[in-house]
Structure 1
Amino acid sequence: MVKKMSEKQARLEEIERLQEKITILEVRDLERLKTIADLAAAQEHYRVLVDGSLAGLYIIQNGVFQYLNGRAAGIFGADNPEEVLGKPFWTFVHPDDREMVRRRGLQRQEAHVAPSRYAFRGLRRDGTSVWVEVYGRNGVFRGRPANIGSLIDISELKQAELSHQMEMERHQSQLEEMVALRTRELQETKQRLEIEIEERKEIQSLLLREKNFAQSVIESLPGLFYMFDHNGKIVDWNRNAERLLGYTGEQFSKMNALDLVVDEDKEAVANAMEETFRLSKANTEGALVSADGKETLFLLSGVACELQGANYLVGVGVDITQQKHVEQALRQSEQQLRVLSERLLATQETERRLLARELHDGIGQSLTGMKFLVERTYEQLKDCPYCATAQHLHDLVPAIQEVVQEIRRLSRNLWPTILEDLGILETLSGLCSRFESFHGDIDVRQEVAVQETDVPAGLKITVYRIVQEALNNVAKHAQAHAVLIGLHQSPKGLELVVRDDGIGFDMDEVDFSDESRQGFGLASMRERVELSAGTFRIESSPGHGTCLSALWPKNGARDASHLETRPLRIASRPVKAEAQNVNIIPRQPAHGSKK
């Protein structure tokens, strides 16, 4: 009840203020009208007497100008009164205002009212319009009724006056509506405020739910959650941070982020923080110290954000201690596997060497002795007429010789004894010569720019096996005209390149881990190189040949991206179809053929 009375009292006070303003406006308007009337009366006395008045003076009888002073003539665009005298008044009134002027004149004549003052649009002699304020009255001129008055050019003031008049009329016509309008506005405002209050309550409720949800997510994180400003001052954290590191909320609120980091990791973490604020995100690893002094390795990541004009870093930390232990165990296992693989290869090469010697020195020598014995027996029995088997002994000699050659080939393939006797350079040269002799349609060019001492002893057999397998692939699959064998020292280390101009292959369609036909033995070559601390690289595409390159860095780095791939300049020759299905070391020729 008190509230309604207060609202009613406020409305009454507002109405009283509006009425007071209207009264003041009316008083001012009356004073203005009175002032104008007094001014017009004073000017009327002088205009009759003074033809040179600043206001235009006129006398009209029967609708025709009988008198004008110079100022009146100028208002209608004439240079002197004579240009207007004797002409009808209506020709100087705008067509749209003639009815209004005529009605005013009739009202004045019929009612004999006092002089009237009004404005209308006049026409100048050039056809342009001019706003004219006229103050006229009925009078007598030369014994006959006349309209006597004055004219003022109000073109510049008319717009302002019309605006003022419209404002006054609007105030007068809408005064009663203002209170009701204001009341409606206040009611609408109240309704809007009530709706806005409800919306704000709903938004606050939604924000509270979002905040609780975000807080639940933060608290459910398995690791640390942290937020600190540009200076590193911690401003927010989750309970997991308190549990994992053992600090209380009060201690966190007084700490800098770097206070949690061990001394040896402070620089790396500080750089990562700076990078986050500069590049919006970053991550690093660092050991954090708990309240009891325990050091725990965390993966720390963060993103930069802006809140209320200030920059903050928000991030999470994940305990990677166990992961590091696993990684270390994997590295140790990998190292052990590498050592075992190296030993396996070494053992394999040792067994090959022993088997090759056994074939050469044991079976080979025995077969050679057998061949000599058969030949001697044949020489003894060939002239005996009763020994028909002598010819059989003679036919057995080439067969034994063929077996001896095959054993020598197997021995040389299992272990190149020339490698121990003459070194890798002569061994590669002999391998290339034998390849050319068996595959006459393929040219082999060597570019060896190293000394024998430049190739470590333990690496020589690896280089030999890679070249041997690469040439085998060229003979089987490449359909090449020529092959280049390159061995030289680069600034990075010892580099081996085997390049052919064959048909190449699509590297996306070959499984290099497959030792079968599609693998082309590339997996074994890669394994040999990597087990000897080198890097292996393959480049090939259909129609552009294949390039195998291996690098054994001086510093032990495993990066083959810098291996040179110089173009192979070789002559083009027709490819024999049978070359694609032959081995690097062919079978022994048939009886009676020459090597």
Structure 2
Amino acid sequence: RLAVLDIVPTHAMWHDFSMQKAMKIYHWLFLAQPKPLPEMLVGRAPVLLWTTNSEGVIDFVSGAALGDLGGREEIIGRRIHDLSPNPQMAETVLRRGLGGETLNFTMPIRDRLFEVSTGPWHNERGQTVGIIGVCIDVTRRQVAEQQLRAAVDNAPLMLWTTDRKGVLTFMQGAAMASVGYTPENTIGRAIDSMGDNEELGREIIRRCLAGETFAYEAMLRGRFFESSAAPLHGAGGEIAGIIGVSIDITDQRQAKRDLEAQREQMELIFRHSWDGLCIREMELGSYKRRLIMFNDMFAQMSGFGREELMARYGTDKLLHHHNSDLERRRQREMILGGKAIQGVDSWVRPDGKENYHEFTSVPIRRDDKHILIVDIRRDITDRLKTEEALKLAHRQLVTAREQERRRLARELHDSIGQGLVALQLSMRTVLSESSIPPGQALAQRVTEATQQCSRLVGEIRQLCHGLYPPTLESLGLVAALQQLVRSCGNSGPPLELQHDEQLSSRRFSPDVEITLFRIAQEALSNAIRHSQATRIGISLTLTPDGLLWLRITDDGKGFDVESGKHGLGMISMKERAHSVGGVLVICSEPGQSVVKAGVPVQVPTPAS
């Protein structure tokens, strides 16, 4: 029992390569024990155990590695010279083994690589009768070593070892080329003589030999290396030297410096931008928000100090968006779509002042529960006020122009027109009360002058109507449009006016009525002159949102809306609609052209 208990731990021998110990154990096994015991132990071990006679003929073989060599039948009875790829080496092994020597070497056998240990084989009387050998299959280990060596040779690092004096015994790795190192000019040199810091080299030796693992950064021939050194233990567990790995981080350090410089530039831009910038985090589902960072302009736009803004953001105490429903819809759209959105919204500052902003919000997914939102805001309050002031000025200009047209129309009608009518009546009176015979030349000239007066009166009335239609002023927009349709119908295709019945007697502000009337005038004139239409329609409707819509359609040849080759009439229509806060939409294709003008019934007044 004691002998068997001695044998069991020898399974670890296959990995420790304690061949001499193994030889003694196997001698004892084969000389002192029945054959089943060594067969049982060795047959399951990851090795190949064999013995020969004095002629080198194999008389015993066992071990799990036997299966890779074809089986016991192909080996028993053959000389080791026949099985070895190097017969001369086999003869040396036999001769030296019979002479009492133990040999250790590596040998390929049938596409496998084995580590081999051989020695003399003794009988019961201690006489050498052959040799005994142990073969360990190290093919996989060799492949792993090759892969490790390839990784070391191609990775930007240096793998190295030293003895206890700090003298390099091994160095390998792709990073060696960057500092001009080769195994020839490094192995045998002390590590404290190779870097730019001898004191650091001595500290590495001291600390590692004391059992510490030491990490450090150092410059070597103009390159930066991040290194780690640790004690290298021998077979008996004693510290035999140092093992270390050094990784070239020069490019990494440069990239880090470049990234840091870019970050500083971005922070400078972020801090001093004229736009309000902020990065905020939003919790999915609850839409809770918190500020991560923001610039001074963002705080200034909010009306709060930096600390107060950070504390209040995302709470009910910070009243920002008037259009909160729009804000919530925008957040959901952002989350579901994952795309940047743009728009205009308004904030109410603590002082009650309402500011308008153009914004761009860009979502960045952070994790399954949160997203980051980058907000870029620009205060457009002053710009909107300027635009409103320009609209007001334009509307006032249009109003003044219409008032001047009205004044001219009245002057023409009341002075020149009435004067011509009086002159016409006087000439008729002279002609009827005089004794001039109707056939004489003088009577004929008076008659022609009377007719000329009649024509001039008609032209002045038509001119006055063009300057400012009296029907619009006295009866309203629907009546003026009806009169316009009748007058235009005499010189073009059939026209049809449709309108809501309640609009017949309803009056609107003079700005709204004159704007839509002038647009109708221009659109009908263009359709009659250019469209070659067979039918023209005009409609007037009031929508629930307070917009009064004028629509003019024709079935003519159409025109290219985007070409830009349009006269002043098109520009005038757009300016008139915009001056009262309205819109003008023009669509055209062969067979159908549409001009739509929508203006608010209540013309907006710009904020002061």
- TM-score bracket, normalised by the shorter chain, equals 0.5 to 0.7
Counterpart code for 1:380:
S
Offset at 1:507?
0.8
1:375–1:429 distance in 2 versus 1, CA, 3 Å: farther
Provide the rounded CA distance (Å) in 1 between the counterparts of 2:483 and 2:299.
73
Provide the rounded CA distance (Å) in 1 between the counterparts of 2:57 and 2:266.
91
For residue 443 of structure 1, the aligned residue among 464, 482, 494 is: 494
Tell me the equivalent position of 2:236: none
Tell me the equivalent position of 2:397: 341
Tell me the equivalent position of 1:454: 506
Offset at 1:222?
0.9
For residue 597 of structure 2, the aligned residue among 539, 550, 555 is: 550
Tell me the equivalent position of 1:147: none
Confirm or deny: 8 A CA contact 2:476 2:507 kept in the other structure: no
The answer to whether structure 1 residue 475 and structure 2 residue 523 are counterparts is no
Tell me the equivalent position of 2:256: 207
How is 1:529-548 mapped onto 2 (pairs within 5 angstroms)?
529-541=577-589, 543-548=590-595
Provide the rounded CA distance (Å) in 2 between the counterparts of 1:533 and 1:298.
20
Offset at 1:340?
1.8
For residue 470 of structure 2, the aligned residue among 417, 421, 428 is: 417
For residue 357 of structure 1, the aligned residue among 413, 425, 444 is: 413
Provide the rounded CA distance (Å) in 2 between the counterparts of 1:479 and 1:295.
52
Counterpart code for 1:522:
M
Tell me the equivalent position of 1:366: 422
Tell me the equivalent position of 2:23: 26
Confirm or deny: 8 A CA contact 2:417 2:460 kept in the other structure: no
Offset at 1:215?
2.0
Offset at 1:505?
0.8
Summarize deviations over 1:532-584 as a string: whole Å, max 9, x none: 4433221213x2242222223457699xxxxxxxxxxxxxxxxxxxxxxxxxx
Q: Give 5+ residue unaligned stretches, structure 1.
A: 1-15, 41-103, 120-128, 137-161, 512-517, 559-595
Summarize deviations over 1:478-514 as a string: whole Å, max 9, x none: 2221211222344444332221112221111235xxx
> Larger % of strand: which?
2
Confirm or deny: 8 A CA contact 1:371 1:400 kept in the other structure: no
Provide the rounded CA distance (Å) in 1 between the counterparts of 2:23 and 2:331.
75
Confirm or deny: 8 A CA contact 2:527 2:533 kept in the other structure: yes
Provide the rounded CA distance (Å) in 2 between the counterparts of 1:483 and 1:296.
46
Counterpart code for 1:204:
R
How is 1:84-99 mapped onto 2 (pairs within 5 angstroms)?
none
1:19–1:185 distance in 2 versus 1, CA, 3 Å: farther
Q: Give 5+ residue unaligned stretches, structure 2.
A: 1-12, 38-51, 63-69, 78-108, 119-133, 150-158, 162-168, 177-224, 227-245, 284-288
Offset at 1:330?
0.6
Tell me the equivalent position of 1:392: 445
Counterpart code for 2:432:
R
Offset at 1:470?
2.5
Q: How many residues align structurally?
A: 419
Provide the rounded CA distance (Å) in 1 between the counterparts of 2:427 and 2:368.
100
Measured on the aligned residues, the alpha-carbon RMSD in Å equals: 5.8
Tell me the equivalent position of 1:496: 550
Confirm or deny: 8 A CA contact 1:304 1:313 kept in the other structure: yes
Provide the rounded CA distance (Å) in 2 between the counterparts of 1:29 and 1:508.
101
Counterpart code for 1:25:
A
Confirm or deny: 8 A CA contact 2:114 2:136 kept in the other structure: no
Name the SS of the counterpart of 2:533 in structure 1.
coil
Provide the rounded CA distance (Å) in 2 between the counterparts of 1:257 and 1:413.
62
Name the SS of the counterpart of 1:499 in structure 2.
strand
Offset at 1:32?
5.3
Confirm or deny: 8 A CA contact 1:305 1:311 kept in the other structure: no
Offset at 1:303?
5.5
1:477–1:243 distance in 2 versus 1, CA, 3 Å: closer
For residue 564 of structure 2, the aligned residue among 510, 527, 533 is: 510
Tell me the equivalent position of 1:265: 320
Identity %: 15
Provide the rounded CA distance (Å) in 1 between the counterparts of 2:298 and 2:564.
50
Summarize deviations over 1:141-195 as a string: whole Å, max 9, x none: xxxxxxxxxxxxxxxxxxxxx99x97563896899xx9x9999985556657876
Counterpart code for 1:26:
M
The answer to whether structure 1 residue 527 and structure 2 residue 575 are counterparts is yes
Tell me the equivalent position of 1:84: none
Counterpart code for 2:559:
F
Counterpart code for 1:203:
Q
Counterpart code for 1:505:
F
Tell me the equivalent position of 2:459: 406
Name the SS of the counterpart of 1:169 in structure 2.
strand
1:333–1:480 distance in 2 versus 1, CA, 3 Å: same
Confirm or deny: 8 A CA contact 2:277 2:298 kept in the other structure: yes
Tell me the equivalent position of 1:466: 519
Confirm or deny: 8 A CA contact 1:118 1:133 kept in the other structure: no
1:357–1:262 distance in 2 versus 1, CA, 3 Å: farther
Summarize deviations over 1:91-112 as a string: whole Å, max 9, x none: xxxxxxxxxxxxx9xx99xx9x
The answer to whether structure 1 residue 376 and structure 2 residue 432 are counterparts is yes
1:166–1:212 distance in 2 versus 1, CA, 3 Å: closer
1:466–1:351 distance in 2 versus 1, CA, 3 Å: same
Offset at 1:526?
2.9
The answer to whether structure 1 residue 222 and structure 2 residue 277 are counterparts is no
Name the SS of the counterpart of 1:333 in structure 2.
helix
Offset at 1:413?
3.0
Name the SS of the counterpart of 2:557 in structure 1.
coil
Counterpart code for 2:571:
A
- TM-score, length basis structure 1: 0.53
Offset at 1:21?
1.4
Name the SS of the counterpart of 1:494 in structure 2.
strand
Offset at 1:262?
7.3
Counterpart code for 2:528:
A
Counterpart code for 1:265:
H
Provide the rounded CA distance (Å) in 1 between the counterparts of 2:455 and 2:357.
70
Choose 1 or 2 for highest CA Rg. 1
Counterpart code for 1:540:
S
Tell me the equivalent position of 1:155: none
1:18–1:448 distance in 2 versus 1, CA, 3 Å: closer
Counterpart code for 1:330:
T
Provide the rounded CA distance (Å) in 2 between the counterparts of 1:499 and 1:270.
39
Provide the rounded CA distance (Å) in 2 between the counterparts of 1:239 and 1:532.
38
Name the SS of the counterpart of 2:424 in structure 1.
helix
1:228–1:23 distance in 2 versus 1, CA, 3 Å: farther
Offset at 1:443?
1.6
1:486–1:192 distance in 2 versus 1, CA, 3 Å: closer
Tell me the equivalent position of 1:429: 482
Confirm or deny: 8 A CA contact 1:230 1:313 kept in the other structure: yes
Counterpart code for 2:469:
P
Summarize deviations over 1:103-158 as a string: whole Å, max 9, x none: x9xx99xx9x9995689xxxxxxxxx99758999xxxxxxxxxxxxxxxxxxxxxx
Name the SS of the counterpart of 2:530 in structure 1.
helix
> Larger % of helix: which?
1
For residue 116 of structure 2, the aligned residue among 158, 169, 184 is: 169
Confirm or deny: 8 A CA contact 1:443 1:482 kept in the other structure: yes
Confirm or deny: 8 A CA contact 1:356 1:414 kept in the other structure: no
